[in-house]
Chain A
Amino acid sequence: MVPEISLTQSPSHSRHGSNIGQPLTRRDGILKVKGEARYAADNHPPGMLYAVLAVSHIARGRVSFLDVRAAKSHPGVVDVMTPANKPPLAEDPDAKTNPFMFRLDLLQNDLVRYANQPIAVVIAETLEAATEGAALLSPRYETQPPRVGLDSNESFVPPAVGVGNPSELRRGDVEAGLAAASRQIDATYETPTQYHNAMEPHAIVAAWDGDALSIDTPSQGLAMAQGRIAGLFGISPENIHIRSPFLGGGFGSKGLIAGPQILGIMAARLVGKPVKLVLRREQMYGPVGHRAPTRQRIRIGADNAGALTAIDHHAKTVSSSFDDFFEPAADASHTLYASPAIATSHEAIRVDTGTPLFMRAPGEATGSIALESAIDEAAWACGMDPLAFRIRNYAEVEPISGKPFSSKALRECYRQGAERFGWSQRPLTPRQLRDEAGLLVGWGMGTATFPALMFQAEARAVIRSDGSGVMETGAHDMGQGAWTAFAQIAADSLGLDLAQMEFKAGTSDLPDAGIAGGSAHTATAGTAIHNAGTAVIARLEELATNNERSPLFGAGNAGVIARNGRLFRRDDETRSESYADILGHAGLTQIEARGKSTADPASQSTYAMHAHGAVFAEVKVDPDLGQIRVTRLIGAFAAGRIINPRLVRSQIFGGMIWGMSFALHEQAVMDRRSGRTLNANLAEYHIPVNADVPPMEALMIDEHDPYVNALGIKGVGEIGITGSAGAVANAVWHATGIRVRRFPIRIEDVLTPDPH
């Protein structure tokens, strides 16, 4: 079957003649297809050695012996880095001076705090020799019983969840709301541990020259990585040059520089030569973050008319024994459904794993599948259609804060998505639909939401004497298409065609583009680019309108428009001057300006800002064999201004597939006794393959938002997972009548009981 792919593009997204809004293909596409895009591990500076991690087999205890002698005597092995001989660091890897700083395992001692923790690094002339050297270390341990799973330790209330969110929040009286309800849901959902599993493993090529450090490594946050490395090695950030032109996916695991990357830098320092270190796939299940498991209890009350009286969302999660990251799952209930009483709360335990971290839609994804399932259960309890129930409880203001939304076209998402899907034909009762082969068919839906965040960024714009432009910012292309989308924004801001302009990104010597995370990269760096372009055009305008010989002289009040490398008088477009001429007359070889972006505190405090969407799923289930297949997935999303609909569609599709994966496939299976992950490979850590991906559609719903940022951009990177996971789970219920509350849904969960 050829997937039916469509993306309706409202004309008001694009301005005539502009680059923004055009569905351009990726500018780096050809490079990638031809294998010419150079990823970190593709670099081989002269004299480079190979470093391989030796990682712990135990999850808790200490290393009592490493056979360094055996490893060192293996031919080709140059050195073995252990706690005994590691180069000194200027900062304790266990120090934590801000919530964005995570403790790293850098051989600071012999303690083991999770399976796959690095315990030594072997450096050799070949990868094979280093690999065998690592095996020859044959570590011995003093082992303590690890704490594995959501019930393995004492629970506590974390001081904060996510990054600095309050762990508990309430509005109204939930208990009173529940008591007053005529219908109640009290259900507990479980989500598993998941790993980012970017296609490209964490890799680093590091070379020291005195105190200057040159690095190739994938990074979603160049400036933060630079700062972290500078602190650890006691050198100035300017001395660190990081190249990260392409990432083979990050999904949050490359947001902060991880321990193994630092170990590569340490190894290079130890041996005084460039060193390459690439994680093996199974080594990614430990030191580079993951999505923590959750157990979420949701209580919902509704009155006779289907109006919510209360939502109580409580999430239990885990963090590592030595650091704090608490998946803010319950926060998913803050924004979506109007209720006079809402309470969200978290508890956590410490287990012997690597520290969980941001993973695509952290909190939103885990919380969404539970909340959307519970809302579906509540709709059923009220005898209402799930869409009607959601519309009945549509939030006109953000429920938890009472703030108005900066924009919210969710109603339109519901309407268009439902219409496209044919939702009105859905029978209320489950297990009613069958296809011609007798398979059960189910339809489910979920609401998608993700906050529209803004971080801080800077960009530098230059117009050169030949009229061409340059835009620079240290932005990150993780495959999402940053090279293209940012160039589109830059070209528009400079009044140039893409071909007349050079866009530079992906290195740490450029202005800080902020972090490529929180679905905020396009909004944040895009706004900085827009502001830099606007600023440099303003400088050109000043030159021209103050120059008596310019056709634009005196146009200051009327203003000018920048287009195609010329400034035009706004009130008389027959009067114009090219950038080249303006600079020529001023005797300048180039003119430059910087632009910054940051969240506007006034609109932040006034408005709630979120992207929204509605996802509709059809599944087929073979009830005898427990086989589930998603057969249609349609989403309608409102996410402010769309810079490039083609790239946006890919992001949304990727997210929707991930949501399906969340509901049906993804899960790290851990041995309770050893704390080791048993399926740390892509054969057995299941994500959907092509045969699992159904025909999909992503409708983009028109939305103008004057408050989020100057360009009206909301993010699209993560929202696709939310809503989709719940939609698939709800469709499985609608097909089978079996409500599965532990994810992913397994074969045995949906088998009809044996007649035997």
Chain B
Amino acid sequence: MKNFDYVRPSTVSEAIAAATEPDAAYLAAGTNLLDLMKGGVVHPNRLVDVTRLPGLDRIEHLPDGGVRIGALVRNADLAHDPDFARSYPSIAEALLSGASAQLRNAATVGGNLLQRTRCSYFYDVASACNKREPGSGCDAHDGENRLHAVLGWSEACIATHPSDFCVPLVALDAVVEIEGRTGRREVALEAFHLPPGDTPERENVLEPGDLIVALRLPSEARSFSAHARYLKVRERTSYAFAVVSAAAALRIEGGAIWDARLALGGVATKPWRARAAEKILAGCNPDLATFRAAAETALADAKPSGNNQFKIALARRIVVRALTLAAAGTPRRIPALPASPFSSISGALHGA
């Protein structure tokens, strides 16, 4: 492996200073970054290990009813936090449907947000990839692109964002707290990841040295806890990335939908909030016709980026299914097969 510096700062400001150098990268659990380094996809000169920074591994319930999740909280710890899982069940379910138990035990909140695409041409350093090497072209275009994006893609890049976690987060208006050279700022998760446009190498709003310190969910997010699901179609029952996924959250009062949140995963270069569909749902009865209309709207702008037409129909269906399951009510416990369509089998709902 290429030689690189390794530094382990003890304060956030030291970390920012160390990471502002060119070709520096923050190292959290490394489950994505180290793979990319071993494959020669990225080659930082300096790793700034943030895992020992104090105070970033806490889940804080805020006085206003919101929750603040430190950037270093492990995926598994967050999903298994009883308070958190009760208040934000679709987020817990999404987390538990990702990767494997071993990876979730290591992976951090910040790292999950910033994980790179699984586009195989991005990983294959001999292929042209605008994201890896701006201007080199996109070999996915005429290549194996069955699982690529159907929404929000550009000529320059048709990759998908692979995170499960981000899908319910973006639906529930999560906010990213960032600390950088110029101080602290906040960005809505929906605006955090950038559409690929002509600059797919620029995936988010972070500037050199910027450190994610926390994620925040507004108090409103928990008002959906009775009707919130995350559902994920994948090529095996566990340990696979989403082909398509959806997070649906409803507030149902008096038999009608008062408010709705909907987002899709595996369909676009960023976690995809379906705001127009949410508008359709609000005020309607939670029935199949409504859900179908919402799904139509959510995928209205979808177009295949290659050999992936099937993902559009599939995405519509998963929206309908996620809404149907959310309307039926959050299961008392997270299903043993989190986010799996097979979890709707009665009897399959038992403790995770």
Contacts and interface: CB of A to CB of B under 8 A. Distances in A.
Contacts of A672: 143
B346 A747 contact: no
Interface string B114-144: 0000101100111100000000000100111
A684 B118 contact: yes
Nearest to A131: B1
A669 B144 contact: yes
A95 interface: no
Contact of B235 (A57, A75, A624, A747): A747
B143 to A, nearest CB: 6
A746 B234 CA distance: 10
Contact of A625 (B1, B125, B318, B337): B318
B5 to A, nearest CB: 14
Interface stretch (A316-324, A333-341, A432-440, A727-735): A432-440
Interface string B227-247: 000000101111110010000
Interface size classification for chain A: 35 or more
Given A673-B143, A676-B126, A135 B314 contact: no
Contact of A747 (B124, B243, B296): B243
A691 B321 contact: no
Given A689-B236, A747-B314, A678 B341 contact: no
B321 A665 contact: no
B233 A625 contact: yes
Interface in B320-352: 320-321, 337, 340-342, 344-346
A680 B345 CA distance: 34
Interface string A667-681: 001011110101100
A620 interface: yes
Question: Is chain A's interface secondary structure helix, strand, loop, or mixed overall?
Answer: loop
Interface string B137-157: 001001110000000000000
A674 B127 contact: yes
B182 interface: no
Contacts of B243: 747
B120 A620 contact: no
B313 interface: yes
Nearest to B235: A686
B54 interface: no
B143 A437 contact: no
A287 B250 CA distance: 54
Nearest to A436: B346
B236 A748 contact: no
Interface in A30-79: 57-58, 75
Contacts of B235: 665, 686, 746-747
Interface centre among A135, A674, A678, A754 (most CB of B within 10 A): A678
Contacts of B102: none
A689 B127 contact: no
Interface string B100-119: 00000000000000000010
B126 A57 contact: yes
Interface string B297-329: 000000000000010011011101100000000
A751 B342 contact: no
Nearest to B308: A748
A551 interface: no
Contact of B3 (A132, A629, A678): A132
Contacts of A128: 1
A503 to B, nearest CB: 36
A479 interface: no
Given A435-B345, A437-B345, A625 B237 contact: no
A122 B321 CA distance: 54
Interface string A130-165: 011001000000000000000000000000000000
A748 B236 CA distance: 14
